[in-house]
Amino acid sequence: MTSGLASSNNLRRPNMTTLWLLSIALSVSAPPENPLATLRAEHPRLMLLDEQLPALRTAVRNDPIARGWHQRLRGERDKLLTAEPTEFRIVGPRLLSASRSVLGRVSTLALLYRLDGDVEAGQRAVAEMVAAAGWPHWNPSHFLDTAELNNAFGIGWDWLQPLLEGEQRQEILRGWYRHGILPALDGYRGERPAWWTRVTHNWNQVCNGGNAVAALALADLFPAEAAEIVGQAVEHLPRALGSYAPDGGWDEGPGYWLYATSYTVYVLSALQTALGTDFGLSDLPGMAETGDFRLHFSGPSRETFNYADAGSGVGAAPCLFWLGRRYNKPLYFWQEHQLSNGDPFDLAWYSGDEVAPERGGVPLDALFTGIDVGFFRGSWADPNTTWIGFKGGDNQANHSHLDLGTFVLDAKGQRFISELGGDDYNMPGYFGGQRWTYYRLRTEGQNTLLIDEENQPPTAKAQITSFDSQPARAAATVDLSAAYPMTQGVTRTFELLDRRDVLVVDEVTTDAPLQLEWAAHTAATVTVAGRLATLTRGGQSIYATVVGPASAIFEAMPVELAAPQRPANGITKLRVRYPAEAGTTRIGVFFSPNAAAVPPPAP
Report pLDDT digits (tens) over 92-124: 999 999 999 999 999 999 999 999 999 999 999
Residues of the chain with CATH 1.50.10.100: 50-360
Q: Flag the least confident range among 9-18, 70-79, 135-144, 451-460.
A: 9-18
Whole-Å CA distances, 592 to 74, 284, 354, 416, 503: 45, 41, 33, 11, 9
State residue 320's pLDDT score: 98
State residue 525's pLDDT score: 99
What percent of the chain shows pLDDT beyond 70?
A: 95
For 291-330, the DSSP string reads HHHHHHHB-TTSBB---SS---B----THHHHHHHHTT-T
Domain topology for 50-360: Glycosyltransferase (1.50.10)
**pLDDT for residue 317 is more than 90:** yes
Q: Which residue has the higher pLDDT, 441 or 15?
A: 441
**pLDDT for residue 199 is more than 60:** yes
State residue 360's pLDDT score: 86
Kindly report the pTM of this predicted structure: 0.95
Lateral strand order in the sheet of 449-451: 449-451, 514-522, 572-580, 555-558
State residue 301's pLDDT score: 97
> How high does pLDDT run on average in the chain?
95
CB 527 within 8 A of CB 501: no
DSSP summary character for residue 594: -
Q: Measured at the alpha carbon of residue 519, what is the angle toward residues 513 and 521, in degrees to the nearest 5?
A: 165
State residue 17's pLDDT score: 47
Does an H or E element contain 348, and which?
Answer: helix 344-348
State residue 60's pLDDT score: 98
Tell me the C-alpha distance between 527 and 554, whole Å. 10
State residue 1's pLDDT score: 72
Residues of the chain with CATH 2.70.98.70: 372-592
State residue 11's pLDDT score: 60
* pLDDT category of residue 601 using cuts at 50, 70 and 90: confident
Average pLDDT over residues 484-510: 98
Average pLDDT over residues 574-601: 95
Tell me the C-alpha distance between 149 and 138, whole Å. 8
In the CATH scheme, what is the code of domain 372-592? 2.70.98.70
**pLDDT for residue 18 is more than 70:** no
For 260-288, the DSSP string reads HHHHHHHHHHHHHHHHS--TTGGGSTTGG
**pLDDT for residue 557 is more than 60:** yes
State residue 137's pLDDT score: 99
The closest of 308, 296, 286 to 374, measured between CA atoms, is 296
**pLDDT for residue 25 is more than 90:** no
Average pLDDT over residues 374-386: 98
pLDDT in tens, 69-86: 999 999 999 999 999 999
* pLDDT category of residue 24 using cuts at 50, 70 and 90: low
pLDDT in tens, 407-449: 999 999 999 999 999 999 999 999 999 999 999 999 999 999 9
**pLDDT for residue 236 is more than 60:** yes
Question: Residues 437, 439, 444, 447: is their CA dihedral positive or negative?
Answer: negative
Average pLDDT over residues 269-275: 99
